[in-house]
């Protein structure tokens, strides 16, 4: 475990020493951004809209007291999704989608000697293959999280009004109650940290794959498992530190 962590740090270091030209790296980052960001919009949209909807319905089911105003439902949906559900659930979804594709892609490149081919050409393969993936993830995760925030609030709105649990006006009133802008900042900080963890852990798992196709599968699974655990740990640590 400690040995792995040391190797992980060395891996991160090897990536930023003796890098390729910036132009090349930027181009690679854009390519990876499309794969990590654009290609994940659909799954993130579906998941976050439903989470918003379910949160709204369940809160209204639990709020039976006539003393509590209905607008509280809107307020709670906002607080829950912005602070926790949008950044964390989105990142966990992305750990599955992006993490497995990073680890699988790099693992395949490793066992088919494509990584060796880069090294023979004198290219720093860690910098060429991994750095753009990490940067792309750090750029794309926050954008996806913002999308998830908006869509889950919209999902809550639709679910609340269509089931008749709450009126549009009450929901919007709730959304506007006691808004703390720092919560958005906090969620975005979380998303950047999660982006780094998911992309770096998955890259590490994939980059050091040895063996054959079976090990590539194992590397993907390991990448997703470890990323999710890391996300949850970091979620707790960040909440304790920054809230």
Partner 1 sequence: MIEIHNVQKSFNGNQVLKGITCTFETGKCNLLLGGSGTGKSVLLQCIVGLMQPDIGSITYDGSVFTNNKVQIRQEIRRKIGMLFQGSALFDSMTVYENTEFPLKMLTPEMTKEERRDRVEFCLKRVGLENAGNKMPAEISGGMKKRVGIARAIAPNCTYLFCDEPNSGLDPLTSLKIDELIHEITHEYNITTAIITHDMNSVVEIGDHIIFLHKGQKLWDGNKEEILNAQVPELKEFIFSSSLVRAAKKVDDESEGGLSAITDSTNSQSAGS
Q: How far is the CB of 123 from partner 1 (least distance, A)?
A: 6
The residues near 114 (Cβ < 8 Å, ≥ 6 apart) are: 108
Closest to 203 in 3D by CA, of 98, 121, 124, 117: 98
As a whole number of angstroms, the distance between CA 243 and CA 240 comes to 6
Q: How far is the CB of 122 from partner 1 (least distance, A)?
A: 4
Q: How far is the CB of 111 from partner 1 (least distance, A)?
A: 9
As a whole number of angstroms, the distance between CA 18 and CA 119 comes to 13
As a whole number of angstroms, the distance between CA 206 and CA 211 comes to 12
Is residue 25 within the footprint of partner 1 (CB under 8 A)?
Answer: no
**Are the C-beta atoms of 151 and 45 separated by less than 8 Å?**
yes
Is residue 22 within the footprint of partner 1 (CB under 8 A)?
Answer: no
Is residue 168 within the footprint of partner 1 (CB under 8 A)?
Answer: no
- Letters for 70-109 (x = contact with partner 1 by CB under 8 A, - = none) are --------------------------------------xx
Q: How far is the CB of 45 from partner 1 (least distance, A)?
A: 26
Tell which positions 104-163 bind partner 1, by CB under 8 A: 108-109, 112-114, 116-117, 119-123
Is residue 21 within the footprint of partner 1 (CB under 8 A)?
Answer: yes
The residues near 54 (Cβ < 8 Å, ≥ 6 apart) are: 159
Binding site for partner 1 (CB under 8 A): 18, 20-21, 24, 108-109, 112-114, 116-117, 119-123
């Amino acid at each position: 475990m400690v040995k792995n962590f040391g190797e992980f740090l060395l891996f991160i270091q090897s990536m930023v020493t003796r890098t390729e030209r910036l132009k090349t790296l930027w181009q690679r980052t854009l390519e990876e951004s499309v794969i990590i960001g654009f290609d994940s919009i659909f799954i993130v949209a579906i998941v976050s809209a439903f989470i918003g909807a379910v949160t709204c319905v369940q809160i209204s089911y639990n709020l039976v007291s006539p003393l509590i105003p209905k607008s509280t439902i809107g307020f709670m949906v906002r607080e829950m999704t912005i602070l926790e559900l949008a950044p964390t659930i989105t990142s966990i979804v992305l750990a599955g989608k992006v993490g497995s594709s990073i680890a699988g892609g790099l693992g395949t490149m490793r066992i088919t000697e494509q990584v060796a081919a880069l090294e023979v050409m004198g290219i720093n393969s860690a910098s060429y293959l991994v750095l753009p993936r990490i940067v792309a993830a750090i750029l794309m995760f926050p954008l996806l999280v913002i999308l998830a925030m908006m869509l889950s609030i919209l999902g809550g709105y639709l679910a609340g009004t269509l089931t008749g649990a709450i009126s549009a006006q009450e929901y919007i009133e709730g959304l506007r109650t006691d808004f703390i802008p720092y919560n958005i900042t906090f969620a975005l900080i979380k998303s950047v940290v999660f982006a780094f963890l998911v992309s770096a852990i998955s890259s590490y798992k994939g980059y050091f794959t040895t063996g054959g196709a079976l090990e590539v599968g194992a590397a993907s699974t390991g990448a997703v498992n470890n990323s999710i655990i890391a996300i949850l740990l970091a979620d707790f640590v960040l909440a304790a530190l920054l809230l």
